Chain A
Amino acid sequence: MAPHRVLLQLLDTVPGFAVDSGLSDTHAAIVEKIRLPRVVLGLLVGATLSVSGASYQGAFRNPLADPYLLGIAAGAGLGATIMITGGFGDGAGIWDPVPLAAFVGALAAVVISFVAGHIGGRSTASLILAGVAVASFLTACQTYVLQSNSDAFREVYTWILGRIATSGWAEPALMAPYFVLTAVVVLRYARALDVLAVGDEEARALGINPGRVRSIVVVAASLGAAAAVSVSGLIGFVGIIVPHTVRLAFGSSHRVLLPLSIILGGAFMVLADLVARTLVSPAELPIGVVTAFLGAPFFILVLRTSRREVW
């Protein structure tokens, strides 16, 4: 398919435009029903994971925070593993129980972390430590379930490594509302996150309630991350690398950081998916492998060349 014909075909999908791209019906269907939803899902998942990571880092004032900090990955992994090993689904298709179980597991992990973290006091550190404990516990459960059903090993592992797979528009449609919710809430709190950067006590002296800001931002970011994980598996790295690249290039103000994390996170994921899909074609690489393989050297390059001190 020639690139200009694909562009014309894309234009044709925009309401109000009727263009003849010259593509055959089969090719047109590939563009509209297979490639385009996949690109859109990549944008949504990448944007959500990276803006969630940026929000977590700001809310916890911790450069190593990522969307999986409070056990989302472990909870989603356990939920998906139970479904796959139980033979309830193969992780494909929208009404499959695997993504649903992953979503429930991820949110349950965050809720348990919040409850456990508040028992140990109200400090940020106690919440992070509770998240670490919850993640370890759920990972142990997941490993046990998997060891007991070793025939499902490969299938579970494939799910965990992540992929941007679509069956038509169902996945993007499922993901979009969560992305919008997360983005709207955290962008609204961008300035509050800037105030939070001076520490809880000074933030309070500047008239904001740090505990409330942190809770709202973390809950919004967790919802988005849980949805992303449930449709695409555990894609690592994006939630840390994209926000830090933006910080190194454009500074730490959340009013700049959050919108740029959305744009660059989406772009990075689409690029990674392109590589995952084409490098060993017709087979596909797990996208989690690609994000780390491409992202890590790029990030080290940015780290070496930037003169900003960002953390």
Chain B
Amino acid sequence: MTGIRLIDVHVQIEQTPVLRGINLDVAPGSWLNVIGPNGAGKTTLLRALLGLVKATGSVEIDGLGDERPAARARTLAYVPQTPLIPPGMGVIDYVLLGRTPHHGVFANDSADDLAIAAEVLGRLDLVGFADREVRSLSGGERQRVVMARALAQTTPVLLLDEPTTALDLGHQQELLDLVDELRAERNLTVIATMHDLTLAARYGDRLALLSEGQVRKTGSPEQVLTVESIAEYFRANVKIISDVDGPIIVPTGRT
């Protein structure tokens, strides 16, 4: 299991500070949901973990001292918010791309790679789609295929950027339930950015509220999701209904 610690992480993009002193501690095998208004720096936080943007401060990922991209890709798998789906690529080939960090780009897929891809397809109910082109699939099916590619990376950490945005309510729950099952099965550490606060409260262990590049609050859903904090950081008026599975956030509009 892999824990992650960020200490005073700053990121600037074109002279504009996007992350301003992030401190976060993600326990091995836990699930952290990152919430915050648009432009808070949620995606940049994931990109900083992936080494896709230059960050100062300390990003510690257990077992990862090596900065080579392939080593990082064996530790962190990433499901971007809007993945670029290559034209003409079949589902099985797309999922096998996830094996790249394990064998490098000069080797062919081994029997093991094919077995892992087949297992992931089965796990995500995609067996019937193996020979279809990814582009021909619906939004929900595509999201599962991108998830399958990330799972085929067999990494201890899963980074999800708004994984449910393109999905209807049923598929949202299905996907998050699946992440939760896989986390239990494989001891995954999960960091997900989420827009839907009620869903963010129901899945995962902890929440981190980001605003203007800083972590404003961390803790349990009850601690983070208060009427006051949502008004302050999201500029939204909400009512919060307590429920055994976590708080339910209901927008009330201007009152």
Q: In this complex, what residue of B is CB-closest to A253? A: B93
- Pick the contact of B133 from A197, A205, A207, A309 — CB < 8 Å? A309
The answer to whether the Cβ of A208 comes within 8 Å of any Cβ in the partner chain is: yes
Interface centre among B88, B90, B93, B97 (most CB of A within 10 A): B88
Per-residue CB contact flags for chain A residues 139-170 toward chain B (1 = under 8 Å, else 0) read: 00000000000000000000000000000000
The answer to whether B89 touches A253 (Cβ under 8 A) is yes
Chain A 189-232, CB within 8 Å of chain B: the 1/0 string?
A: 10110110111011011111100010000000000000000000
Q: 0/1 per residue, B61-75, Cβ < 8 Å to A?
A: 000000011111110
B102-130 near A? 1/0 per residue, CB < 8 Å: 00011110000000000000000000000
Q: Are B87 and A206 in contact (CB under 8 A)?
A: no
Q: How far is the CB of B14 from chain A (nearest CB, A)?
A: 11
Question: Number of A interface residues, CB 8 Å?
Answer: 26
B69 touches A202 (CB 8 A): no
A-contacting residues, B151-191, CB 8 Å: 153
Nearest opposing residue in chain B for A310, CB measure: B88
Q: Mark interface residues in B181-221 (1 if CB within 8 Å of A CB, else 0).
A: 00000000000000000000000000000000000000000
Q: State how many angstroms separate the Cβ of A181 from the closest Cβ of chain B.
A: 17
Partner of A197, one of B74, B86, B105, B136: B86
A197 CA to B85 CA, complexed, in Å: 8
Query: Does B135 sit at the interface, judged by CB under 8 A?
Result: yes
B84 touches A310 (CB 8 A): no
Whether the Cβ atoms of B106 and A208 lie closer than 8 Å is: no
**Cβ-based interface call for A122 (8 A):** no
The residues in A between 100 and 117 inclusive whose CB is less than 8 angstroms from any CB of B are: none
Residues on A with C-beta less than 8 A from B87 are 197, 252, 309-311
Quick check: A202 and B84 within 8 Å, CB to CB?
yes
CA A194 to CA B77, docked complex, whole Å: 18
Known A-B contacts A197-B89, A252-B86, A308-B88; the reply to A188 vs B106 at CB < 8 A is: yes
Cβ of A247 within 8 Å of any chain B Cβ, yes or no, is yes
Rounded to whole angstroms, the CA-CA distance of A206 and B94 in the bound complex is 12
Q: Does A177 contact B (CB under 8 A)?
A: no
Given contacts A252-B88, A308-B88, contact A207 B93 (CB under 8 A): no
Q: Does B50 contact A (CB under 8 A)?
A: yes
Task: Check B74 against A195 for contact (C-beta < 8 Å).
Answer: no
B31 at the interface (CB under 8 A from A): no
Pair A198/B97 contact, Cβ less than 8 Å: yes
**Residue on A with the closest CB to B105?**
A192
Query: What chain A residues lie within 8 Å of B135 (beta carbons)?
Result: 309
Chain B residue contacts of A201, Cβ below 8 A: 47, 52, 80
A207 in contact with B72 given A197-B86, A247-B88, A308-B88 (CB within 8 Å)? yes
In contact, B69 and A208 (Cβ under 8 angstroms): yes
CB distance from A261 to the nearest CB of B (A): 14
Give the dominant DSSP class at A's interface: loop
Q: A251 near B: Cβ within 8 Å?
A: yes
Contact indicator A204/B136 (Cβ below 8 Å): no
Nearest opposing residue in chain A for B80, CB measure: A202
Supposing A202-B80, A207-B73, A208-B105 touch, asked if A311 and B97 sit within 8 A by C-beta, the answer is no
Tell me how far the C-beta of B143 lies from the nearest C-beta in chain A, rounded to whole angstroms: 14
Asked if A199 meets B84 with Cβ closer than 8 Å, knowing A207-B100, A207-B101, A309-B135, the reply is: yes
**Cα separation A194 to B71 with both chains bound (whole Å):** 20
A251 to B89, CA, bound (A): 7
CB distance from A215 to the nearest CB of B (A): 14
Contact between B78 and A205 (Cβ–Cβ < 8 Å)? yes
Residue of A nearest to B99 (CB): A206
Question: Given the complex of chains A and B, what is the CA–CA distance between A202 and B93 in angstroms?
Answer: 15
User: With a CB–CB cut-off of 8 A, which chain A residues contact B86?
Assistant: 194, 197-198, 252
Q: Pick the residue among B73, B80, B89 that contacts A252 (CB under 8 A).
A: B89
**Nearest Cβ in chain B — how far from A280, in angstroms?**
39
B76 in the interface, Cβ–Cβ < 8 Å? yes
Residues of B within 8 A of A189 (CB): 105
**Which B residues are CB-close (under 8 A) to A253?**
89, 93
CB neighbours (8 Å) of A205 from chain B are 50, 52, 73, 76-78, 80
| A32 CB, nearest partner CB in chain B, Å | 40
The residue on A at minimum CB distance from B85 is A198
Determine the distance from Cα of A266 to Cα of B73 in the docked complex, in whole angstroms.
39
Q: In angstroms, how far is the closest chain A Cβ from the Cβ of B175?
A: 19
- A191 close to B101 (CB less than 8 A): no
B residues in contact with A208, CB < 8 Å: 69-70, 100, 105
Name the CB-closest residue of B to A250. B88
List the 7 closest A-B pairs by CB distance, nearest first.
Answer: A252-B88, A207-B73, A197-B86, A207-B70, A207-B101, A199-B84, A192-B105
26 A-B residue pairings within 8 Å (CB atoms):
A191-B106, A191-B107, A191-B108, A194-B86, A194-B93, A195-B97, A195-B105, A197-B84, A198-B83, A198-B84, A198-B86, A198-B94, A199-B84, A201-B47, A205-B52, A205-B80, A206-B73, A206-B97, A207-B68, A207-B100, A208-B100, A213-B105, A247-B88, A309-B87, A309-B136, A311-B87
Instruction: Please give 11 more A-B residue pairs, beta carbons under 8 A apart, in addition to A201-B47, A202-B84, A206-B153.
Output: A191-B107, A194-B86, A194-B97, A195-B100, A205-B76, A205-B77, A205-B80, A207-B72, A207-B73, A209-B69, A252-B89
